[in-house]
Amino acid sequence: MDDSRLEQIIDTHQSTADSLIQILLDIQAENRWLPKEALERVSEKLQVPLSRVQHAATFYKAFSVVPKGRHEIHVCMGTACHVRGAPRLLDSIQDLVGIKPGETDSELKFSLETVNCLGCCALGPVIEVDGTYHGKMVPAQTGEILKNYE
Amino acid sequence: MTRIQSPAALEEIRKDILAHRDPQKPCIILCSGSACLASRSKEVAESLEAEIEKQGLTAAVDIKKTGCHGFCERGPIMIILPEDICYVQIVPEDIPEIISRTIKEKQVIERLLYTDPATGEKITYESDIPFYKHQERLVFGANRRIDPKNIEDYLAIGGYSALPKALSQMTPEQVLGEVKKANLRGRGGGGFPAGRKWEECRNAPGDIKYVIVNADEGDPGAYKDRSLLEGNPHLILEGLMIGGYAIGAHQGYIYVRQEYPLAVDNVTIAIKQAEQYGLLGNNILGSGFDFTVKVHKGAGAFVSGESSALMTALEGRVGEPRPKYIHTAIKGVWDRPSDLNNVETWANVPLIINNGADWFTGMGTEGSKGTKIFSLVGKINNTGLVEVPMGVTLRDIIFTIGGGIPKEKKFKAVQTGGPSGGCLPEERLDTQVDFDELTNAGSMMGSGGMIIMDEDTCMVDVARYFLEFLTGESCGKCVPCREGIRQMLKILTNITRGKGKEGDIELLEEMAEVLKTAALCALGRTAPNPVLSTIHYFKDEYEAHIREKKCPAYSCKELIAYYIDPEKCQACMLCAKKCPVDAISGGKNLIHIIDQETCTKCETCYDACPPRFKAIRKISGEPVPPPVPEEARTITRRSKKDE
């Protein structure tokens, strides 16, 4: 993310300290992760100690302080999906992509995350890849879906 | 749009909107809530728009993309007006036929109707479908009638009539009195009377006060707040404004999870429209009352749904809870009096003002009035959002509305209240939906998740699941929660892995007591509930895991094995071909054998084995029989004729 865009985001929120989380959310949405330089700039502009910015950046699930893969896999681990076999689904995806939830592979192809409920329980167990939902999944189908991503 | 200056002018506008609407004009309503969007509702909408244009009907037919209708199991749902025909599970390919036959020729397409699984009967109208028929959709029912992005739709169904009534005909005290009299209890889980909270906030010293919508719905398996906010944002806004008026607050906040992008969009649009109409801002409808609303996105932390944590997050700090010796109604956001209520609680306010407290208290039980929305999910035939009057039994919700358990499995438990709630067994199914009844039974109302479990669900694993969720979500500020949950999780994980020992159950109970007493906020204090309720009702399952190293539900991976019954195996190769780790040996006419060392217990073979053979079974608590000797592996295939 270039500096001028970063400044723009901070300015839309009137550079006030109470909008810290909203600013970080906007940066995350556009850049898909929060680089250290961006956090430092936010800290300076909002006059909020860097430690507090870091605290927020690492506390919330929405933020990532490391770069994300080209494709993001979200495996729903909500209760409905859990009782319908989500743990087995997650196991099979971990085996396929070779990373654990919260990790990104070394080629930056996939990032794997678990989420607590995607709110489409009728489709459970469900995974979401780059915004596309795949419902009523069984472990045997995961390979077929993930091979479409480069 | 010029700002509306008075209640009378608002009524004029409403009349004008209605005058321009022809109730006989064909209108295709398409559910476009998040759940239906996941079922390709967006593609259906695109193909609908294209087809209508293609057939030259753009001026003759209206399309309305609404929020969630609730019957997610059969989404995307389509309703065709004025006949009120309901089609389910629509795919884009159905559209040309719908336009030519139903819209043009006024014919019902049988195959798109809902089929009652019990009778096989095709049902044409939504209101006749058992899932809907037994509900009382007072709050949620409007979703299907309005485009949430269009304030005119809300006005057309009588929306924004409670606000002018409150502002012009009632004093703030009267509004407060009505809500108190209605005994509206908090729909976010706790069930605290909203009127009392409002009163405390109103009476708290200070000129600047805040009212807040809690839309940080984080319970896994609950999505009713999202659907309300997505589908009917003006209803929530109207409730919030009335609350602001009664309490004396001029600033409202909507704290909504960023994981709900459609809800964020729709409520943001709604605020903008309400401002343009003069329903927000200064001197609303000429009453002298000023009110503004801001949307604050939550960044994904379950604990931020706790009132003090949420208020800290609104200040731009990390959403951790703080001790509440002084209520947030007195010292909340920036230490100013702040009233926080759940989305569904706010949604009830306009109904109470319009219809009166007596109407509201006419529904429900002694201690719980009105209706309650649940997301009915898990091992249930009709997954979806249901709204029922308080006092309905769990059995009615699960079997009459929910249609029972799929695949003829046996019901085992119903979980309500999310990670703070509990699991109730079969013998508690006649418990009424009521704040106090559910608490007495060992669960709680919670924010509306109702997860159904069948015989394949392991109750120890369910308890472990919730604690695993909570260890991830505990903010770590207080020791009982940070350490207590983690240690309880360790014990439970051991039990599910066959490493449980005598005394574990008692130790869990003891730690649960400490957590209940000593944790800082409700997250920690209620965290032991799933453990305690499962120990209470399903102790035999715990004991089987600990003593016999057996998972009675055949669910805990470490305690089960998959075994191919040599008597039943027809050597069809299906399982062997699908096994991702090549753990199954066998060939044509050769009985298949699973290599237990290589098997990862992914259950693929179990699903792959044709139901007419049913050759693979799960084994737990006993040794796997030795493989068939090589010489006995060849089978003589039954010929097709014999089958």
Q: Over 60: is that where the pLDDT of B638 sits?
A: no
CA distance A26 to chain B (A): 10
Domain B559-632 bears CATH identifier 1.10.150.20: no
The token pair at B488 is: 């309880």
Closest partner CB to A77 (pick from B220, B449, B457): B220
The token pair at A102 is: 């919260």
What are B78-109's pLDDT values in tens digits?
999 999 999 999 999 999 999 999 999 999 99
In terms of Cα–Cα distance, which of B437, B452, B378, B423 is closest to B534?
B423
In terms of Cα–Cα distance, which of B281, B244, B270, B250 is closest to B4?
B281
Residue B103: which residues within 8 A CB-CB, separation 6 or more?
B26, B28, B57, B61, B80
Q: Which residues of B touch A21 (CB under 8 A)?
A: 297, 299, 313, 316
Q: Over 80: is that where the pLDDT of A65 sits?
A: yes
Closest partner CB to A122 (pick from B35, B302, B601): B35
**Cα–Cα distance measured from residue A76 to residue B469, given in angstroms and rounded to the nearest whole number:** 12
| Mean pLDDT of all residues in B39-62 | 94
Contact A123 B457 (CB under 8 A): no
Q: Provide the CATH number for the domain formed by B147-361 in this structure.
A: 3.40.50.11540
Interfacial A residues in 46-105 facing B (CB < 8 Å) = 48, 52, 55-56, 59-63, 77-80, 82-85, 87-88, 91-92, 95
Residue B53: which residues within 8 A CB-CB, separation 6 or more?
none
Q: Over 90: is that where the pLDDT of B259 sits?
A: no
Q: Searching chain B, which residue's CA lies closest to the CA of residue A15? A: B316
Q: Over 70: is that where the pLDDT of B640 sits?
A: no
State residue B639's pLDDT score.
54
Q: Searching chain B, which residue's CA lies closest to the CA of residue A123? A: B73
Contact B383 A16 (CB under 8 A): no
| Mean pLDDT of all residues in B431-438 | 94
What are B209-244's pLDDT values in tens digits?
999 999 999 888 889 999 999 999 999 999 999 999
Percent of chain B with pLDDT over 70: 99
State residue B118's pLDDT score.
84
State residue B637's pLDDT score.
62
Contact A79 B220 (CB under 8 A): yes
Q: Over 90: is that where the pLDDT of B50 sits?
A: yes
Own/partner contacts of B628-635, CB < 8 Å, gap of 24 or more, are: B628/B566, B628/B591, B628/B593, B632/B566, B632/B591, B633/B566, B633/B586, B633/B590, B633/B591, B633/B593, B634/B589, B634/B590, B634/B591, B635/B569, B635/B570, B635/B571, B635/B589, B635/B590, B635/B591
CATH topology of domain B25-81+85-124: Glutaredoxin (3.40.30)
What is the phi/psi pair of residue A132, to 5°?
-95, 130
**Cα–Cα distance measured from residue B439 to residue B445, given in angstroms and rounded to the nearest whole number:** 7
Domain ranges in chain B are 25-81+85-124, 147-361, 371-454, 459-547, 559-632
Contact A20, A48 (CB under 8 A): yes
The token pair at B208 is: 């600047």
Contact B462 A83 (CB under 8 A): yes
Q: Provide the CATH number for the domain formed by B371-454 in this structure.
A: 3.10.20.600
Percent of chain B with pLDDT over 90: 86
**Cα–Cα distance measured from residue A139 to residue A123, given in angstroms and rounded to the nearest whole number:** 15
CA distance A108 to chain B (A): 23
What are B444-478's pLDDT values in tens digits?
998 889 999 999 999 999 999 999 999 999 999 99
Sign of CA dihedral B145, B151, B157, B158: positive
What are A77-120's pLDDT values in tens digits?
999 999 999 999 999 999 999 999 999 999 999 999 998 888 88
Crossing angle between the packed helical segments B504-518 and B479-496, to the nearest 10 degrees: 160
State residue B480's pLDDT score.
96
What are B331-373's pLDDT values in tens digits?
999 999 999 999 999 999 999 999 999 999 999 999 999 999 9
Mean pLDDT for chain B overall: 94
Structural domains for chain A: 3-59 (no CATH), 71-146 (3.40.30.10)
Contact B463, B427 (CB under 8 A): no
What is the phi/psi pair of residue B605, to 5°?
-65, -40
Q: Over 70: is that where the pLDDT of B641 sits?
A: no
Q: Over 90: is that where the pLDDT of A1 sits?
A: no
**Cα–Cα distance measured from residue B82 to residue B26, given in angstroms and rounded to the nearest whole number:** 6
Angle at B102 between CA B101 and CA B108, to 5 degrees: 100
| Mean pLDDT of all residues in A40-48 | 94
Amino acid code (one letter) for B145: R
| Mean pLDDT of all residues in A9-13 | 91
State residue B18's pLDDT score.
96
Architecture of domain B459-547: Up-down Bundle (1.20)
CA distance B372 to chain A (A): 18
Interfacial A residues in 16-55 facing B (CB < 8 Å) = 16-22, 24-25, 48, 52, 55
State residue B576's pLDDT score.
93
> In a mutagenesis test of the B interface, which of A24, A27, A82 is the best target, namely the one with the most B β-carbons within 10 Å?
A82
What are B156-175's pLDDT values in tens digits?
999 999 999 999 999 999 99
Confidence of residue B643 (pLDDT cuts 50, 70, 90): very low
**Cα–Cα distance measured from residue B410 to residue B390, given in angstroms and rounded to the nearest whole number:** 26
Q: Over 80: is that where the pLDDT of A124 sits?
A: yes
State residue B596's pLDDT score.
95
**Cα–Cα distance measured from residue B212 to residue B215, given in angstroms and rounded to the nearest whole number:** 9
Contact B38 A123 (CB under 8 A): yes
Contact A105, A69 (CB under 8 A): yes
